[in-house]
Amino acid sequence: MERVAITGATGFVGRYIVDELLKRKYKVFALVRNVDKLKGLFSDKVVGVKVDFYKKDSIKKALEEIKPDAIIHLIGILTEDRRKNITFYRVHYLLSKTLYEVCEDHGVNRVIHMSSLGTHKEAPSEYHKTKYMAEEFLKASGLKYTIFRPSLILGPEQRLFFDMWKITKLLPVIALPGGGSYLFQPVDVRDVACAFVNSLERQESEGKVYELCGSETVSFKELLEDIFSKWNRKVLLIPAPKPLMYFAGKIAEKLLSPPPFSSDQMLMMWRDNVCGLDQDVETEGINKLCDREPIPYRESLSWSLENFRYNL
């Protein structure tokens, strides 16, 4: 397997997966809306092909040109912008469905799919519901798939860092939904890239769903305290009921684009964002696919925040 097509190559996680693919001497093709942005990141190391992801003919033309052995699909959003018709249904489900239907028709039968921890048929958020719909469509297709569900991904480009930096610079107060007791099992973006690329090379990963987590569990409050401590920034953390935060999110969505948080993100906290809660999935994905322990939380957070400053 030599030729790999990737969506979301210019995004947070995509950049690291592309770097890993290039290190392993893959020929990388990026399906993108903005070829110039891709070129700014990777110069001529990656071949950019402009695509309208909602038009089958556009995807078909790209795949016929590239003839990839596999496709890595990363595109996703954290908040909707209904004014621009950017919705979870369109981005997570419809876009994925259209892409995979074209893959089926054109012999691209190896797919690596980015989902999210918390994805479940009973999840209340539209974010997780549409992620689940995409997973189910892929599983029912004739494609050879591997699905990944990461917890919170740590890296210098993590949006949470930028949001917290901007908000607390203006007003050093943060409201904590449910007191900030919600748990994460943060995973390093370099570990995520390792798992994605290794899955291309391991036949045993076909037809499986992997959870990707670090080895340490932290609450949202602990995570924010660790971030602000690294920045030497004093921030008042105020507990707030989740229902109140849900309605505050509704208001933020109407006033700001993108909002600092949304009502759907409150629903995403339907259960802790940790590995091992679901049956019929592979837990400890980093250990199984990278043949080592995940990068420790403290090491990952330090690296992320030290390099985050260069992105300000």
Q: What is the pLDDT of residue 90?
A: 97
d(CA 312, CA 304): 13
8 A C-beta contact, residue 74 and residue 150:
no
Domain containing residue 250: CATH number: 3.40.50.720
The predicted structure's pLDDT at residue 49: 97
Only one residue has tokens 């995570």, namely 223
What pLDDT is recorded for position 36?
92
- What pLDDT, in 10s, does the model give residues 26-76? 999 999 999 999 999 999 999 999 999 999 999 999 999 999 999 999 999
Give the tokens for residue 24: 């392993």
User: What's the half-sphere exposure (Cβ side, CA atoms, 13 Å) at 267?
Assistant: 18
Report how far residue 296's alpha carbon sits from residue 304's, in angstroms, rounded to the nearest whole number. Answer: 12
Q: Are 71 and 49 in contact (CB under 8 A)?
A: no
* Nearest in space to 110 (alpha carbons), one of 21, 45, 197: 197
pLDDT score for 259 = 81
Residues recorded for the chain: 312
Q: Output the pTM of the full model.
A: 0.96
Which residue bears the tokens 């401590």? 229
Supply the range of the domain harboring residue 11.
3-311
Residue 149 in tokens: 């569900």
For residue 29, the SS3 value is strand
Pairing state between β 144-150 and 110-114: parallel
pLDDT on residue 1: 62
Residue ranges of the chain whose pLDDT lies below 70: 1
The pLDDT assigned to 234 comes to 97
User: What is the count of structural domains for the chain?
Assistant: 1
